[in-house]
């Protein structure tokens, strides 16, 4: 009787350990999460485009556990003077939130802020003349704000 009970208990315990280990492994983010995060937070247009495509298909990236939440340009206008800065602000939020969660924000803040400025300047490149100048001045102001207060 004791032997059957001990065998049943050992089998149950082994099954429980296997289930818990499998659940833990399944809940872990893929090993390449830092590389993916880095690739989406560079200063280039291709990095921005890859992030935008992923943002449009967030479900495909669910296993990574990225924080896609945004308040866009926080307390500043999302579209100052009609310049559409909201998506640049959303990518900046993405970088800040995910690097903070990873515990490596300080090491990446400068690049995130530079990427933000490059994104804003790409928005401004759609304009010409005085409008482009005004847009670039506004972009510079937003960039300086995040460098100082972000």
Gap between the Cα atoms of 74 and 26, Å rounded: 35
The active-site residue out of 92, 113, 142, 143 is 92
Any residues with CB less than 8 A from the CB of 86 and at least 6 apart, and which? 72, 73, 78, 79
Gap between the Cα atoms of 47 and 122, Å rounded: 13
SS (H, E, C) 52-106: HHHHHCHHHHHHHCCCCCCCCCCCCCCCHHHCCCHHHHHHHHHHHHHHHHHCCHH
Q: Is 92 a catalytic residue?
A: yes
The residues annotated with a catalytic role in the active site are 92
């Amino acid at each position: 009787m004791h032997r059957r009970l001990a065998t049943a208990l050992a089998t149950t315990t082994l099954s429980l350990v296997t289930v818990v280990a499998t659940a833990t492994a399944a809940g872990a983010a893929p090993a390449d999460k830092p590389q993916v995060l880095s690739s989406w937070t560079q200063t280039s247009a291709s990095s921005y485009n890859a992030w935008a495509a992923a943002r449009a298909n967030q479900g495909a990236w669910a296993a990574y556990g990225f924080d896609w939440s945004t308040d866009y340009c926080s307390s500043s206008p999302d579209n100052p003077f009609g310049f559409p800065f909201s998506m640049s602000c959303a990518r900046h939020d993405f970088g800040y939130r995910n690097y903070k969660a990873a515990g490596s924000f300080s090491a990446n803040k400068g690049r995130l802020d530079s990427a933000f400025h490059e994104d804003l300047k790409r928005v401004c490149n759609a304009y010409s003349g005085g409008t482009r100048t005004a847009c670039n001045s506004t972009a510079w102001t937003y960039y300086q704000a995040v460098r100082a207060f972000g």
